[in-house]
Structure 1
Amino acid sequence: MDEVNGVVPPYAAGVGVGVGFGGNFRKVSREEDWRFHATEFAKGVAELSVEFGKGCRDVVRQSILRDDSFVVRHFRGPCKAACTKLKFLNEYLPEDRDPMHSWSVVSVVFAVVIAVLIVTSESDTTTQLIQKLHIYPPNATRILLPDGRHLAYHEQGVSFDSARFTLIAPHSFLSSRLAGIPGIKGSLLQEFGVRLITYDLPGFGESDPHPQRNLESSAMDMLYLSYAVHITDKFWVVGYSCGSIHTWAALKYIPDRIAGAFMVAPLVNPYEASMNKVETRRTWDKWTTKRKFMYFLARKFPVALPYFYKRSFLSGNLDRIDKWLSMSLGTRDKGIIEEVKYQEFWKRDLGESVRQGNVKPFVEEAVLQVSNWGFSISDLNVQKKHQGKGVFFWLKSLYKRPQQELTGFLGPIHIWQGMEDRVVPPSMSEYVHRILPGAMVHKLLYEGHFTYFYFCEECHRQMLTTVFGNPQGPLTVEVDLIPPVKDKDDVDEKNEEMEEEVEVSYSDVTFI
């Protein structure tokens, strides 16, 4: 019927299609039929959108733009005054254009262009800031431990035979043996006669991983290292931030080898049961939500940590330390991590830390921070050893006075704590001072987490002076002035030669 009336049905549209009675029609393909339906659907959507926009416009006019509405009553005057001042811009529009419509379009286009420029500039800046992590060739000195593992260490200061004091420093999370006391000068160590030894924790840097690492094994590694580097006397341990957990372990498991300890912003297990409610609340309130979440994962779901570590510091790209460790830093800490000397140190230390590319040591270190240590810090208190109970011990005490043996750690403990520290809150040091009254806590009013320990020569001098007193220089090495004893036959032969020379000389003189 449509053909008779001269109307071409949609499915017959195409090139070469006749119009009217007797036209030659060709068969339409499925692809052309799909395109037709898609076009019609798009037209329908456009028409509905236009009608919807008109409806929204009418609703706005009837509800918001009425004379008695809140918007009109409060903003009509300022808008009218602004439009009056900007009315001269209408002269630049074509005569047949409505100013209201034209300036609306111009404003939208301007906003879109600004947004595109901002996104493009941010994308370009991000691309420029991404740097690849550089790992240097291995060059560490290593020792062989009794279990067959190798431990890498780094030595600074005076030699072992002239050292007045020896320090051993385990490093913190995402660090290496290169850290030690960052920026400390060799001249200062020489002035105090200090020998500083730092080492890579198992799996970090060039140290072999430990199959079942815990804090007791960490203390034993420190003990074996002291024997290997010729430390015959007691030594001091240094702890910074989360690396202090290994310092606490040394004080617990090898106290007879430790002369003393000094720590800066020492970390305490945030889940420690002996912390009171105030200390716990003040500790957790200082941390970011992401940091709290990472502690939760380390304690409950450590299998999820590799996902985050591989996407951050194990990805091979450089980024800010506060972002990777989810730290909230104060103004002074933010300033020091932006300095060139810190950036250079951070890149070198980070590259050495992740040298092996193994995520397991980092997971182990994170779990150690929040799990059961196997001891409490209160165990380090000096106390009398229990002598036993019962009638037998009572009768024995009547005839022989029992010797009161002391347990715990007998040496001094110094702690420096920045009161503006948001990484290791001051509440942790206050907790340590509460359960270890003998520990000396030095409060730093305007210092953060990095400012007192990193690249501060005056701060380093203050710490060494507080612990060791006035500098006395290295020990004098005694030199044996007695010549070595030679073989007896060589001595007799030498004496005979000297006698012959004397006789010849004497005869010559007599002859003359």
Structure 2
Amino acid sequence: MDEKAVAIGRGPGSFAAMREVITNDRRTLAVEEWGEPAGIPVVYLHGSPMSRLARYPDESLFHELGVRLITYDRPGFGASTPRPGRRVVDAAADVAAVADALGLRRFAVFGVSGGGPHALAFAARHPERVTRVGALASLAPRDAAGLDWTAGMSEGNRRSAAVALSGRQAVTEHLANVGTANMPPLPEIEQAVLSRPDISAMLGPAFAEAVRPGLDGWVDDVTALFGTEWGFDPADITVPARIWHGGLDTLVPPAHGEWLAARVPTSTLIRQADAGHGGHFDATPAMLAWLLGDVDGRAGTTPGS
């Protein structure tokens, strides 16, 4: 695949211009990097609907830990080419394409919310390239055996989940008609997190970039996450895994994280009883430290090794 850097779309705090990675099927993936250029590589999979500009808001953390954080727009978001009909498992090939373009052999990977399943997909399909994998506030697959998938879920996500079963066109019409303006209000615990100045300052541009080209990315994320089987089994993951979930999460109920932790044989479940969905922000420093192989945040691997 090809790779080039372009001067557009540069995120505040990034150390390089946005990179365009061209996949083997000639799609563009927009990539951004944060933190230490020579640091330990960690690939981050954003939530939905978000973009490559989404990350932990205090970027001094990346410098303190010596992290080279790599983010990219999933297909249809931001500057990445849409890929209608994509499944969660398809992210594995895209992460591999990004890693190949950046010269990364082995690295840690983690995802938040809708990005969690996509991070797990890469770990399942490419264990030889993953040091550790993390998922925060992650969905479980719609066909998860023994899980009441929508139990305890917020009205907005329950609606999207119901529509997703009817396919991509139904999701397109649903999101076009509803949009963010008509979504039910978030619980107070989530509003409190999103109103924090550092978080709102980061999320505003990240969301705006996600939907700048339209709703394709959001539509395909909802369809892949809520309406179809993922295309891989989390039980196939063999690398060390860490699952974090807030006990008060109604956007993605904690039963999802518990199911994933029970399914992934190498996983440890961290359940924070007093946290909601947005609690993943405060849980990120500990997750990053664990991904590096040391609870104190000291590097335990050689960059790109």
Fold similarity call, TM over 0.5: yes
The answer to whether residue 194 in structure 2 is matched with residue 337 in structure 1 is yes
Question: Any idea what SS the aligned residue of 1:294 has?
Answer: helix
- For each residue in 1:188-239, what CA deviation from the matched residue of structure 2 results, as whole angstroms up to 9, or x when unmatched? 22232211100001111011122552334321111010011121x3111111
The answer to whether the 8 Å contact 1:184/1:460 transfers is: no
Q: Which residue of 1 aligns with 2:251?
A: 423
Counterparts of 2:256 and 2:23 in 1: how far apart (Å)? Answer: 34
- Percent identity over paired residues: 24
Counterparts of 1:340 and 1:193 in 2: how far apart (Å)? Answer: 25
- Rg larger in structure: 1
The answer to whether residue 129 in structure 2 is matched with residue 251 in structure 1 is no
The answer to whether residue 88 in structure 2 is matched with residue 210 in structure 1 is no
Counterparts of 1:290 and 1:423 in 2: how far apart (Å)? Answer: 8
Higher relative contact order (CA 8 A, sep 6+): 2
Question: Any idea what SS the aligned residue of 1:300 has?
Answer: coil
Question: Any idea what SS the aligned residue of 1:373 has?
Answer: coil
Q: Which residue of 1 aligns with 2:70?
A: 197
Q: Which residue of 1 aligns with 2:22?
A: 144
Question: Any idea what SS the aligned residue of 1:267 has?
Answer: coil
- Which structure carries more strand by proportion? 2
The answer to whether the 8 Å contact 1:191/1:474 transfers is: no
- For each residue in 1:13-34, what CA deviation from the matched residue of structure 2 results, as whole angstroms up to 9, or x when unmatched? xxxxxxxxxxxxxxxxxxxxxx
The answer to whether residue 164 in structure 2 is matched with residue 292 in structure 1 is no
Q: Which residue of 2 aligns with 1:498?
A: none
Counterparts of 2:155 and 2:301 in 1: how far apart (Å)? Answer: 51
Out of 107, 112, 115, the residue aligned to residue 235 of structure 1 is 107
Counterparts of 2:25 and 2:168 in 1: how far apart (Å)? Answer: 27
Give the CA deviation at 1:301: 4.4
Q: Which residue of 2 aligns with 1:367?
A: 223
The answer to whether the 8 Å contact 2:247/2:272 transfers is: yes
The answer to whether the 8 Å contact 2:117/2:135 transfers is: no
Q: Which residue of 1 aligns with 2:15?
A: none
Structure 1 residues 476 and 259 mapped into 2: Cα distance closer, same or farther (>3 Å)?
Answer: closer
Give the CA deviation at 1:451: 2.5
Question: Any idea what SS the aligned residue of 2:277 has?
Answer: coil
Name stretches of at least 5 consecutive residues in structure 2 with no aligned partner: 1-7, 11-17
Amino acid at match of 1:198: T
Give the CA deviation at 1:327: 6.9
The answer to whether the 8 Å contact 1:327/1:423 transfers is: no
Counterparts of 1:449 and 1:327 in 2: how far apart (Å)? Answer: 14
- For each residue in 1:230-250, what CA deviation from the matched residue of structure 2 results, as whole angstroms up to 9, or x when unmatched? 21x311111111111211211
Out of 54, 74, 81, the residue aligned to residue 179 of structure 1 is 54
Counterparts of 2:300 and 2:131 in 1: how far apart (Å)? Answer: 18
Q: Which residue of 1 aligns with 2:13?
A: none
Counterparts of 1:301 and 1:152 in 2: how far apart (Å)? Answer: 26
- Which structure carries more helix by proportion? 1
The answer to whether residue 233 in structure 2 is matched with residue 376 in structure 1 is yes
Give the CA deviation at 1:434: 2.2
Q: Which residue of 1 aligns with 2:204?
A: 347
Amino acid at match of 2:119: T
Counterparts of 1:304 and 1:227 in 2: how far apart (Å)? Answer: 36
Structure 1 residues 224 and 425 mapped into 2: Cα distance closer, same or farther (>3 Å)?
Answer: same
Give the CA deviation at 1:447: 0.9
Counterparts of 1:209 and 1:297 in 2: how far apart (Å)? Answer: 21
The answer to whether the 8 Å contact 2:77/2:216 transfers is: no
TM-score norm. by structure 1 comes to 0.52
Out of 130, 133, 140, the residue aligned to residue 268 of structure 1 is 140
Give the CA deviation at 1:366: 1.1
- For each residue in 1:337-367, what CA deviation from the matched residue of structure 2 results, as whole angstroms up to 9, or x when unmatched? 233333332321111001112x333222111
- For each residue in 1:287-342, what CA deviation from the matched residue of structure 2 results, as whole angstroms up to 9, or x when unmatched? 234432321111124422222322344xxxx74xxx63x5752x332212233333
Amino acid at match of 1:304: A
Give the CA deviation at 1:168: 0.7
The answer to whether the 8 Å contact 1:291/1:327 transfers is: no
Counterparts of 2:158 and 2:33 in 1: how far apart (Å)? Answer: 36
The answer to whether residue 284 in structure 2 is matched with residue 410 in structure 1 is no
Question: Any idea what SS the aligned residue of 2:78 has?
Answer: coil
- For each residue in 1:49-82, what CA deviation from the matched residue of structure 2 results, as whole angstroms up to 9, or x when unmatched? xxxxxxxxxxxxxxxxxxxxxxxxxxxxxxxxxx
Question: Any idea what SS the aligned residue of 2:58 has?
Answer: coil
The answer to whether residue 170 in structure 2 is matched with residue 310 in structure 1 is no
Q: Which residue of 2 aligns with 1:158?
A: 36
- For each residue in 1:396-432, what CA deviation from the matched residue of structure 2 results, as whole angstroms up to 9, or x when unmatched? xxxxxxxxxxxxx332101111111111111112112
Counterparts of 1:472 and 1:228 in 2: how far apart (Å)? Answer: 26
Counterparts of 1:286 and 1:228 in 2: how far apart (Å)? Answer: 41
Give the CA deviation at 1:138: 3.6
TM-score norm. by structure 2 comes to 0.84
Amino acid at match of 1:447: A
- For each residue in 1:236-277, what CA deviation from the matched residue of structure 2 results, as whole angstroms up to 9, or x when unmatched? 1111111112112112222211111011111112332x2x2x
The answer to whether residue 260 in structure 2 is matched with residue 432 in structure 1 is yes
Q: Which residue of 1 aligns with 2:4?
A: none
The answer to whether the 8 Å contact 2:46/2:115 transfers is: yes
Counterparts of 1:222 and 1:437 in 2: how far apart (Å)? Answer: 23
Counterparts of 2:288 and 2:117 in 1: how far apart (Å)? Answer: 21
CA RMSD of aligned residues (A): 2.5
Question: Any idea what SS the aligned residue of 1:291 has?
Answer: helix
